[in-house]
Amino acid sequence: MSAEPQAAWPRVAVMGAGAVGAYFGGMLARAGAPVTFIGRPAHVEAINRDGLFLDSLHFQQSVRAAATTDPAGIRGAALVLFCVKTLDTASAARLMVPHLNSAALVLSLQNGVENVQEMRAAAGIEVLPAVVYVAAAMAGPGRIKHSGRGDLVLGDRRRKDDVARAAEWFTRAGVPCRISENIDAELWTKLVWNCSGNAASALARATYGRIARSETAWEMVTATAREAFAVARAAGIQMPGSEADLLAAGRKLLDGDLAHATSSTAQDVERGKKTEIEALNGVIVRKGRELGVPTPVNLTLYALMKLLDEKLP
C-alpha cells in the first residue's frame, strides 16, 4: 500500500492503545496518517523504539508512530479514537478535556451502549458512536495480532458530515466502514452478541468457534441472546430483523471469521485485568429489571464474571 501524503491526513490520537486502538490506529498510521498512541508504559516504550508491529491476516509490517503515557498527547489531533475499557470511560474522558481540540472528531470504539452518554455527562464531550468488529489481541509490547474481520459501523443522524468524513478516512486506510441510519440498533446488535459470547468464552476458556459448534453451548448462547433482544425491544430499540435472523447471522460469524478468536473478556481474564462485564451482561440485567423483562441466563453469566472480577486487583 502506498502512503498518502501526510498533509492529506488529519492528525490522529488514540486514547487507549490496547488491541482495538492499536489495530485501527495502526491501520491509519500504515496508510500515512500521523498517529499518536496514548497507552501504558511498556507499549509506549516499544512503539517509540521499534514502531507498532501489525501481524495481520493480510500482511506483517512495522509502522512508525508516536506514543506517550501523557493524555496531553491528543493535543492538536483532528481525529481522536477513544478506545479505553468501559471501566475507564468517565475518568479518561475527563483527562482528555484540557487537551482536546474543540473541533476534533471523537469516536468511541468501545463495547457497550452507554459510552457516548457517559462521556457527555462526565466531561461534556460530544462523541460519535462506532461499532467495532475485529478479532485482535496484544501479542506483546508494541505488537498486535489480527485474526479476523476489522471493520467499523458509524452513524449519527445529527452529524452526517462528520460521520462521512470519518468513514472516508478509514476507508482510505483500508478499513471497511459502513454508515448506518440506525446506529442505536447497530450498537445493541453488537451488545447482544457481546453478552452471548464474551462471558462464555472467558468462563470456558473457549474460542468462538468451539462455542458455536457445541450444541449445549449454543443453546445457552441462544437463550442469552433472546433475553438481550427482548430487553432491547422493551427499551424502544428498533432492532433489525427477527431473533431468528440475528441468531443465524451470529452463528455464521462466530463459526466463520471469528472462529479462532477468544473474546476481549477472555483476554482480560487471561491478563488478570478486571473485565467490562458491567457494560455487557450487567446492562441487560439492570435494564431488564427496570423494564420488567426476565434475564436469568444473563444474570447467571454476570454473577459468575463478577465473582472472577472480585479476585482481581
Higher-pLDDT residue of 100 and 260 is 100
> Alpha helices of the chain — where are they, by DSSP H?
19-31, 41-50, 89-96, 115-123, 160-172, 183-204, 208-213, 215-234, 243-254, 264-270, 281-291, 296-310
Give the angle 58-60-66 at the CA atoms, nearest 5°: 120
Domain spans in the chain, listed from the N-terminal domain onward: 6-180, 184-310
Tell me the mean pLDDT in the region 208-228. 96
Distance between CA 208 and CA 212 in Å, rounded? 6
Confidence of residue 2 (pLDDT cuts 50, 70, 90): very low
Give burial (CB, 10 Å; 0-12/13-18/19+) of 88: middle
Residue type, 106: V
pLDDT tens sequence across 266-299 = 999 998 999 999 999 999 999 999 999 999 999 9
Whether 137 contacts 145, CB under 8 Å:
yes
pLDDT tens sequence across 147-188 = 989 999 999 999 999 999 999 999 999 999 999 999 999 999
Distance between CA 223 and CA 74 in Å, rounded? 42
Cα distance from N-terminal residue to C-terminal residue, the chain: 43
Distance between CA 205 and CA 211 in Å, rounded? 10
pLDDT above 60 (res 3): no
CATH topology of domain 184-310: N-(1-d-carboxylethyl)-l-norvaline Dehydrogenase; domain 2 (1.10.1040)
pLDDT of residue 250: 86
Tell me the mean pLDDT in the region 209-217. 95
**Strand-pair partners of 151:** 133
pLDDT above 60 (res 132): yes
Q: If DSSP codes are grouped into helix, strand and coil, which group holds residue 148? A: strand
Whether 130 contacts 107, CB under 8 Å:
yes
pTM: 0.93
pLDDT of residue 211: 95
Tell me the mean pLDDT in the region 69-97. 97
pLDDT above 60 (res 1): no
pLDDT of residue 273: 92
Domain 6-180, CATH number (from 3.40.50.1000, 3.40.50.720, 3.40.50.300, 2.30.110.10): 3.40.50.720
Average pLDDT along the chain = 94
Tell me the mean pLDDT in the region 54-71. 96
Q: How far is CA 173 from CA 45, 144, 244, 256, 296, in A?
A: 25, 17, 35, 24, 43
pLDDT of residue 5: 45
